[in-house]
Amino acid sequence: MPDHQEWALPKSIQIKPKMLQFDLNAALDSVVFIHMQAFEDGLTADTLGTERNGYGVVISPEGTILTIGYLITEASKIWITTNQGVVVPGFTLAYDQTTGFGLIQPLGALGCPHLEMGSSASLDLPQKAYALGHGGLAHSLETEIIAQQEFVGFWEYLIEGALYTTPAHPHWCGAALVNSSGQLIGIGSLLVQQESKGQVVECNMFVPIDLLKPILSDLLSTGKTQQAARPWLGMYTVEAEGQLMISFITPGSPAEKAGIKDGDQIVKVGEERVFTLSQLWQAVWKLGDAGVKVPLSLARDGELITITPVSVDRNTLLKKPLLH
């Protein structure tokens, strides 16, 4: 169980309970601590580690926990800790790679309140909000949503309407973002840099809760959505001086099997010239569902070559937990 005395946010940025229109204690108690162990031979073990810590938010009277998916990907064991010191094991219900959300089922009674979901759409920015970590008031802060826009990741990930907040919560993984009514509007994903008022500042990127609402029922009932899986290639790509450079190839991935290498520059997807990560991933996904061939024009050692990996559904490569 984590030692909550090891760190605390400065009181100047902690939430002021008297200024709120919702029950802060109940909201804080809905945020739980998640500790997981991943399969050592899993696909994500090298990149994400085999032991991960973060937060989750109880979102239903039954105790369903919403978190960020990379925290629980390929989890062999999950432990959940409440603010009252209750510790129970958990089981991965779902990881939706399109949104990045993950769901956990506690295998025991948590005794926690749950947070109601609000709306992350059409916010009047900048807007005050509250970032809640596990461990009570000392791990919460008043923050401001400074931007709401597309987020694109080098690991074949893109979402619309991501929420960017400052000051940043130092432990962002799975943290809750709530509005002035105490409703959940986002789940913490990353620490990033964003321009604000002419300066580059550190901020948190939260995945907006509205992305969850259309798929929650399917995730709870079947562990996946009804949408076909996107094609996945297994290549980490970065934007560098107007070019798209491959920085890492996942071992055993379609990209590796096809002969794509670190340092290759991506020029085209099919006949479409691509200059940004957003253009790249959308061009790949437009070709079809997982299993589609993806013709890539690559610059390597001064030559232009074409390599056509056969994409897969990434979920089929991930190790699944066993419920005993």
- β-pair partners for 157: 153
- 86-123 burial, b at 16+ Cβ within 10 Å, e below that, comes to bebebbbbbbbbbbbbbbbbbeeebebebbebbebeeb
Predicted confidence (pLDDT) per residue in 39-76, tens digit: 999 999 999 999 999 999 999 999 999 999 999 999 99
Domain ranges across the chain: 12-227, 235-317
CA separation, residue 174 to residues 41, 52, 204 (Å): 24, 12, 11
- pLDDT in the model for residue 198: 80
Structure tokens at 35: 């500790």
pLDDT band, residue 210 (cuts 50/70/90): very high
Q: What is the pTM of this model?
A: 0.95
What is the number of H-type helices and E-type strands within the chain? 5, 18
Q: Are 165 and 151 within 8 A, CB to CB?
A: no
Domain 235-317 has CATH 3.10.150.10: no
- Please report how many Cα atoms fall inside a 13 Å half-sphere around the Cα of residue 45, on the Cβ side: 13
The DSSP output letter for 41 is T
- Alpha carbon distance 308, 306 (integer Å): 7
pLDDT band, residue 1 (cuts 50/70/90): very low
CATH fold for domain 12-227: Thrombin, subunit H (2.40.10)
| Range in 112-121, 147-156, 191-200 the model is least confident about | 191-200
